[in-house]
Structure formats: C-alpha cells, structure tokens
Chain A
Amino acid sequence: MTSGAARYFAMAQKELLELVRSFKLLWVPLVFVLLGIMQPVSMYYMPLILEKAGNMPVGSVIEIPMPLGAEVLAQTLQQFGTLGLLVLVLAGMGTVSAERNSGAAALILVKPVSSFSYIASKWTSLLLLAWGSLTAGYLSSWYYTSLLIGEVDASRVLGSLLVYGLWLSFALALTLLFSTLLRSPAAAAFSALGASAALSLLAGVFPKQAGWLPGSLSGFAYQIASSGSAGSDRFGWSLACTAAAIAGSLLLAGQSLKRSASVD
C-alpha cells in the first residue's frame, strides 16, 4: 500500500467517525425510511382519506383505481428526489466550507495530505450517507408496497436503485464542489440544488436534445421502476456523462482547495 492510500484511509476513517458523531448516519436514513413507508401507505388509504376528509356530497361514489406496485415505487423515488435530496444536500453543504471557515482544513492540509485525498475522504462519507439512506428507504418502501399494493420485480427495484443512487451521487458531488468554491454553506446548498433542479428541468423539457445530461437520470430511474427498462438509447450516454461529471467536479474541488486551503 502506498503512503498516499494509507493517508486516504486514515482520513476516510476520521470522516466516518464524524458521520457517526454528528448522528447523521442515524437520522438521515430514518427520514428516508419514513418517506419510503409513507408513499405506499398513503396510496393504499387514499380512498379512505378522501372519504373521511373530503367534502364530498352524500352518496357520491369515487372510483380510484389502485395504482400498480411499480408506479408506487416510482412515486417513492420522486419523494426522495425532492425532500430526500433537500435533506442530503443540506446535510452535506458544510463538509468543506465549514472546515475552511473554522481553519480546520488549513490545519489538516499543512500536513502531508494532498487536497485530493482530503476531498476523496469527504466524498466517501457523503456517498456512504446517501447510498445507505437511499437503500434503507427504498427497501422499506418496496416491502410495504409488496405488502399493501402489489409485488414488484426485484430486478426493477435494483436497477432503479442503482440509477437513482448515481443521480444522488452526482448531486452530492456538485454540493462538494460548491462547498469548496463558495464561502457560505447556504450558498453552496442553494447552488447545488439549483443546478440539479435546472439539469432535471432541462432533461424533462428537451428529452431528445438533453437526454444525455445527468439530469435525465432521475427520469430514467422512474422509467426503470415503472416499466422495467430505461426505454431510451441515450441512457448509456447519460450514465457515462454523469460519471465524467462527478470525476470532473471532484478534481476541480481538489484543485481549487490546493490553491487556497483557508479563507482569509
């Protein structure tokens, strides 16, 4: 093992400890599990809720078709894409900028630790948080969906989970990049959320021209969950483009951190 890798592992270990000590590893997955459970349960009780709470005239009959299990899972992913993404980005917004503002980053980086292994260790902990929460939430949603609404193929669940996880990883790479470039954590969260929302919007409005952008990944994940395949020849391009964008933003973050480790 080279010394660079050894240092990276030491740093990553410290980041994981930080994740546990700030209790993020506990409450973020709990929120995802809650979001995941709520979707199938509220779809299951929708007729009952409308009947009790709505101001329906007496005798009116509402026929709401029970959705397919696969559609409920796609809706769960949409929940993760709004509330879940918000929670993840807000939890990750201070990863670099808070340590730079407090001077801790400068203290670490005077030691023989490269700025790239610093960024890589931060990235590892964010990835663990995102994938752990997404998996926990999605699996509990799957369990409830098959219990209440209908069975869904494991292959669809796995496929959409992987694609959606890549989308979340991309959003977190943006968060890390903006957290390095910008001084305030709030500005970093705002830019990362804005950029991912703009990309999704672009991919949604121009699916032909912008289908290869990372923003279309969430749409592909819904497609895989509800119909079993991404159904577009741009899917592969989109995967490759996202991987490249993640690598690019991490490199850029490391480069900019190398230039100025502390904020004066």
Chain B
Amino acid sequence: MNENIDVTQLLPILAPIFLIQLVLMVFALVLCLKAERTRGPKWMWALIIIFVNLAGPIAFFLFGRRNDG
C-alpha cells in the first residue's frame, strides 16, 4: 500500500508534525529575543533554537532562561 505515495497524500499526515515544531521554534525564539537576560549569549541561543531541530527549543526552555524555577 506504500508503493505510490505522492506528496499530496503525505502532506496532511506530516503537516501537524511540522506545525508543532514550528510553533515550538517560533515561541522559543520570541521568548529568547524578548528576554532581558539569557544564560549565555543571546545570538547563540537563537542559532541553537533555529538550527537544532526540536532539542534546540527544549534546551532553551529548560536551561536558557533565568529568573524562573
């Protein structure tokens, strides 16, 4: 059943995955840019968030921010 899969068939299945990754990335990026201080240079976090898939935003949420528990 998997022989002739075309893009139109793939898209609705894969779209939520890309969408969630995009939401996490944009959200982390906005928080990073708006933060007064981050742990480590801000541009470094921005690069990590953009280029490291999924783990980048998570790492920023967990370790990048100051002043929260």
Contacts and interface: CB of A to CB of B under 8 A. Distances in A.
A87 interface: yes
Contact of A41 (B13, B23, B28, B68): B13
Nearest to B62: A90
Contacts of B65: 22
Contacts of A18: 68-69
9 contacts: A18-B68, A18-B69, A22-B68, A30-B20, A30-B23, A31-B58, A33-B20, A41-B14, A91-B61
B2 A23 contact: no
B47 interface: no
A71 interface: no
The 7 nearest A-B residue pairs measured at CB: A98-B69, A22-B68, A34-B20, A94-B69, A90-B62, A48-B2, A47-B2
A237 interface: no
Interface in B14-47: 14, 16-17, 20-21, 23-24, 27-28, 31
Given A45-B2, A95-B69, A23 B17 contact: no
Contact of A26 (B5, B27, B54, B62): B27
Contact of B58 (A22, A87, A98): A87
The majority secondary structure among interface residues of chain A is: helix
Interface string A223-236: 00000000000000
Contacts of B62: 87, 90-91
A34 B58 CA distance: 12
Interface of B: 2, 5, 13-14, 16-17, 20-21, 23-24, 27-28, 31, 54, 57-58, 61-62, 65, 68-69
Contacts of A22: 65, 68-69
A31 B69 contact: no
A9 interface: no
A38 B61 contact: no
Contacts of B54: 31, 34
A244 interface: no
B48 to A, nearest CB: 15
B20 to A, nearest CB: 5
A27 B61 contact: yes
A94 B63 CA distance: 11
A148 interface: yes
A45 B13 CA distance: 11
B64 to A, nearest CB: 12
A257 B27 CA distance: 35
